[in-house]
Chains A and B, each alone.
Chain A
Amino acid sequence: MPQMDQKRIEHCFEEISQFRPRSEVAARDLDRAKERLAELTSEQRTKGQQIWRIIMKSRITKLAAAVAVIIAALVTSHYLGGSIDGTTIAWARVIETIENARTITSRETRTLTCEAKELPFLGTSEVIKYASSEYGVREDMVKDGQPLSHTYWLLKANECVTIIPALKQCTRKPLTEVEKKVLHQMTPEGVANLIKSSQYVELGRKSIDGVEVEGLEIRGNELVVAPVELDSVVMRMWVDVETYLPVVIEADAITTDKTITTFTGGKPVKAELLAGEFEWNVQLDAEIFEPNIPEDYTILEE
């Protein structure tokens, strides 16, 4: 092929500029584009009838972030061990297991209610959670089989990224000092460092799905680091008596913080969490914690 000097390149561009689609093709494509625009408008009107579409985009993003914060606060309280004074061998083994873990995965059901009724647009959702002492935490929230949000709390980048597929929107913001503490507490390493005394009640033994477990209950919002005010927190951890690993963690929190209750007309919100299917020290690659933001998403920097 001949060398491409400036003149030759310009000549190529000249030929490129002469390319002209056939008029009937252009007309057909433009008609289809207008039809598509009409479809988009119609879809928008239909979706607008759903309650959560009525809320402004920025508000739903903030609510999702605020809910994530509440849940993060609950999660923090989960990983606080029980009898941390070490006098009870079983609980000391539990804490030792957590200390040695580098990763945790779990599946959670989260329910938000106000006056015993599920919140209209979030209500009950399922969350798959990945926690790594090296990379941070990722949560994938699903509702009715549809992805609701993907939230990343990233240790190295020191930021929180939330992706909401239904809105084709992404928010990213640096972690506040409080959020950094929450994030650290959510990782296995952070959990291991959170050794402090707490008043707890032993719940004794029972069977969950054929597994014999022993439980304890901790109450008190002062245990939790959270950027929203929690009026009360109750956490129950059930541990397999043979493996010393948590099998089920339950948590309830009530908040009257205005950040949350602004969406419920000021009425208190209750967050209930049920976590299970724990896996410890599984291989979690760095790419799991990469927020792959699609190109056509709107990114809101806060």
Chain B
Amino acid sequence: MIERQQKILQLLDTSGPQLHRLLGRLTRREDVVGDLLQELLLRLWNSNGFDKAQDPFAYAHRAAVNLAFEWRRKRKTTCQLSEENCPAADVMSAAGIMIRAEELEQVLDASSRLNDLARNVVVMRYVEQMSYEEIARRLGKKPQHMRSVCAKAMAELREILTSQNG
């Protein structure tokens, strides 16, 4: 247990800000990130899988993505605006901002419907801006496979979003 504690502490020191940022991006809610970070911590604390993980950050990253999307599925669908985190707000009308925010929420909600691997790849590629090589290394897979998964995931997202918007 002491080893696990040290592992988590080291993770927080080296990758805490990145995990915090990831949770923020996937929830778009500054006010819930703190609670989710603690929930993530609790899961890692109680997880035997974390002990055995060769790449603790990759394990925690996957857990954080799953946690964020679980939160999305449970919450009510409301559109939260925070001007500090809304880029280019000054050039858009209020209605435009609302529509844009709604679109972003739709894309994230649609992503929660992808399978675990597809969702993780999409998040790493488009939210974290990682290369396919980096993604492959992180997930222990081949870059070509990651390209294929990503392409299929995007096609699935298009289908989900198209059917939602009629």
Contact = CB atoms under 8 A, between A and B. Distances in A.
A6 interface: yes
A295 to B, nearest CB: 8
Contacts of B162: 3-4
| Size range of the chain B interface in the assembly | 35 or more
Contact of A15 (B24, B38, B84, B87): B87
A18 B87 contact: yes
Interface string A1-39: 101111011101111111111100110111011101100
A40 B45 contact: yes
Interface in B31-67: 33-34, 37-38, 41-43, 45-48
B25 A17 contact: yes
Contact of A20 (B21, B26, B106, B165): B21
Nearest to B17: A26
Interface in A212-265: none
Taking each of A1, A12, A17, A296, which has the highest tally of chain B beta carbons within 10 Å of its own beta carbon? Answer: A12
A18 to B, nearest CB: 5
Given A10-B126, A17-B128, A41-B5, A1 B103 contact: yes
A22 B17 contact: no
A171 to B, nearest CB: 13
A12 B158 CA distance: 12
Contacts of B9: 34, 37
Majority DSSP secondary structure for residues of A touching B: helix
Contact of B37 (A1, A5, A10, A33): A33
Given A4-B107, A4-B161, A4-B162, A13 B87 contact: no
A168 interface: yes
B127 interface: yes
Contacts of B126: 10, 13-14, 16-17
A41 B3 CA distance: 11
B8 A1 contact: no
A13 B123 CA distance: 9
Contacts of B99: 1
A12 B107 contact: yes
Given A22-B30, A22-B84, A12 B25 contact: no
A298 interface: yes
Residue among A4, A5, A14 having the largest count of chain B Cβ atoms under 10 Å: A4
B28 interface: yes
A17 B100 CA distance: 14
Contact of B161 (A9, A18, A20, A22): A9
A44 interface: yes
A161 B89 CA distance: 54
A21 B41 CA distance: 19
A24 to B, nearest CB: 11
B108 interface: yes
A173 to B, nearest CB: 17
A35 to B, nearest CB: 9
Interface string B1-13: 1100100110010
B20 A21 contact: yes
A251 to B, nearest CB: 37
Contacts of A34: 9, 12
B37 A21 contact: no
Given A1-B165, A6-B158, A32-B38, A16 B107 contact: yes
B20 A30 contact: yes
A275 to B, nearest CB: 35
Contact of B107 (A9, A19, A22, A32): A9
Given A13-B126, A22-B30, A26-B20, A33 B12 contact: yes
Nearest to B70: A295
A1 B107 CA distance: 13
Given A8-B103, A16-B127, A296-B43, 9 more contacts: A1-B102, A1-B106, A4-B165, A9-B158, A16-B104, A25-B33, A25-B34, A28-B34, A44-B1
